[in-house]
Amino acid sequence: MTTSTQVPWREQFVRGWGMAVGGPARVFTPTTAEQIADAFAEVQSKKGHIALRGSGCSYGDAALLRDGHVLDLSRMNKILAFDPTTGVARVEPGVTVRDLWRHSIRFGFWPKVVSGTAAVSMGGAAAMNIHGKNNFAVGSFGECVRAFTLLTPGGQLLRCTREQNADVFFAAISGFGMLGCFTELEIETKRVHSGRLRVWGIPARDLAHNLQILEDLKAEADYLVSWIDMHGKGVALGRGLMHRAEQFGPGEDPDGLRWCEPSLQDVPPRLFGVVPKGWLWPGMWTAVKLGQVPTINWAKYQAGFREAKKSPYLQSHGAFHFLLDYVPRWQWMTKPGGLIQFQPFVPKAHGERVLSTLIERCQQAGMVPYLGVLKRHRPDPFLMTHAVDGYSMAMDFCVSKNAARRQALWRLCQQLADIVLEAGGRFYYAKDAVLQASSFARIHGEPTVRTFAALKQRLDPERLLQTDLSVRMGV
């Protein structure tokens, strides 16, 4: 294949969202599928490699390639069609969760699966097969993808559905951008009869209590997520605050109709209507540097009891889901080292034992995550999925600039990963920065890895698509 035009690459430093990993790369921002094909062809002729990048919300190195090429798809952000009767949207890969719900909520539709930040792109969400606070009930993002068009490194446009090119459909979703670039996706959204949710805050004494609440409520609740105070010790180990949310049925919250409007769903931009939230991160940075995270967590846990008293309360969908958007640039509080997130998925039978061991190990090592988030999951049909019938616990660690401390954190996470893998657990590549190649087969099993390798060989024999993550995992 020959290239007709020169692709305008620009030199840029590309980071993971956690700012702890990254490097210089040649970046190009295409606006059409033809431009993606041109970029593929040009890099292939130079025997180079390309990483695909959506909004860059992966915490680690899933959307970057140091000293390689990066395709930034954020400008392919058009909603091509939206059916106001069925709620099915046809979108380009750079359309964000926010773009989608701002469009769909006017018609009383909300995306079936959303992340904790609305900045995530549709292409990225499908490639990483992201999950939301309702994973136990509706599964992962892939389950609301009806069809997509995939541009393979060979320049072929493949339309994939559950029936047509099904093997590629189930592997490209969850395939972390290794098989091709999504150029168009069809996404299902769901009917909501109110722009608001009923939300309950439920304090949990310890980890066992947290897990018990998840089991008790998973049959009836629409959304469940628990914040965990990772500094809780002894009888308070794994204490936290569970949030449960439920949708309204027809006629249950008539006034919620007024909230079916984009500007009433956005997370409020100011604190108490005065202080722009963009100014809050320096305060949080100071708290982290002064070692006040345990105090803040304790206060948050205590505040949970007050929240429980006024439950259930009403909250817009946006305000409930997009906690990470409450404080813009909050990740800057971990500057200069940045942060990594470590999110193991543990089968139900081993949940309590493994998760409590993980928390204890962190506390013994003196590297306690400043944030922990517990969720309930169920398996899904995608080839490289992270989901298990069990629990996940996302742990956010501050990364030190000091090389020795940084290495110690990586070693700790690798030890934790061993504990998880022994219990038959899995990992989520949008969050990962520490796993080693030896873990890949242990996570997915030999047959799955072989199937994936065969697909990679078929669609991308020159191994054009590569990321720092895929190199690290030996894909």
Partner 1 sequence: MPTRTGTCIVVGASSGIGLAVARRLALEGRKVAMLARRENELRAQVTLVNDAIGQTRAHAYVHDAADANAAEPLFAKIEQELGQVDELHFVAGVMPDVRPDEYDLAKDALQMQVNAVGCIAWVNAAARRFLPRKSGCIVGVTSVAQDRGRTGKPGYHASKAAMDTFLEAMRNRLWKHGVQVTTIRPGFVDTPMTAGLQLKGAISADKAAALILKARDRKKTIAYVPWKWRLIMFVIRNIPSFVFRRMTI
Token pair, residue 263, equals 């500007």
* CB crowding 429-468: b at 16 or more within 10 Å, else e: bbbbbbbeeebbebbbeeebbebbeebbeebbeeebbbbb
**Packing angle, helices 403-422 and 437-444, rounded to 10:** 20
User: Smaller CB distance to partner 1: residue 261 or 307?
Assistant: 261
| C-beta separation of 94 from 82 below 8 A | no
Shortest Cβ distance from residue 108 to partner 1 (Å)?
4
- What gap in Å lies between CA 196 and CA 252, rounded to an integer? 11
Q: Is 328 in the site for partner 1 (CB under 8 A)?
A: no
CA 293 to chain centre: 24
The reply to whether 278 sits near partner 1 by the rule CB under 8 A is: no
List the interface residues with partner 1, window 230-259 (CB under 8 A). Answer: 250-259
Contact letters for partner 1, residues 334-373 (x by CB under 8 A) = ----------------------------------------
- Provide, rounded to whole angstroms, the least separation between the CB of residue 261 and partner 1: 5
Q: Does 4 bind partner 1 (CB under 8 A)?
A: no
Contact between residue 202 and residue 313 where contact means Cβ atoms under 8 Å apart: no
Of 193, 335, 361, 405, the residue at the interface with partner 1 (CB under 8 A) is 193
- CB of 278 vs partner 1, minimal distance in Å: 16
* Binding of partner 1 by 188 (CB under 8 A): no
Nearer to partner 1, 248 or 285 (CB): 248
CB of 187 to partner 1, least distance (A): 17
DSSP label at residue 465? B
Footprint on residues 63-102 left by partner 1 (CB under 8 A) = 83-85
- Report how far apart, in Å, the C-alpha atoms of 181 and of each of 23, 36, 87, 94, 239 are: 22, 8, 24, 11, 42
Using the contact rule CB under 8 A, the part of the chain among 11-19, 162-170, 260-268, 340-348 near partner 1 is 260-268
Within 10 angstroms of residue 171's Cβ, the number of other Cβ atoms is: 23
425/345 Cα distance (integer angstroms)? 5
The minimum distance between CB 250 and partner 1, in angstroms, equals: 5
Q: Identify any residues that bridge with 187 across adjacent strands, giving them in sequence order.
A: 89, 145
Q: Which range touches partner 1 (CB under 8 A), out of 203-211, 261-269, 342-350, 363-371?
A: 261-269
Interacting residue with partner 1 among 79, 236, 264, 287 (CB under 8 A): 264
Please report, as ranges, the residues that interact with partner 1 according to CB under 8 A: 83-85, 106-108, 191, 193-194, 250-264
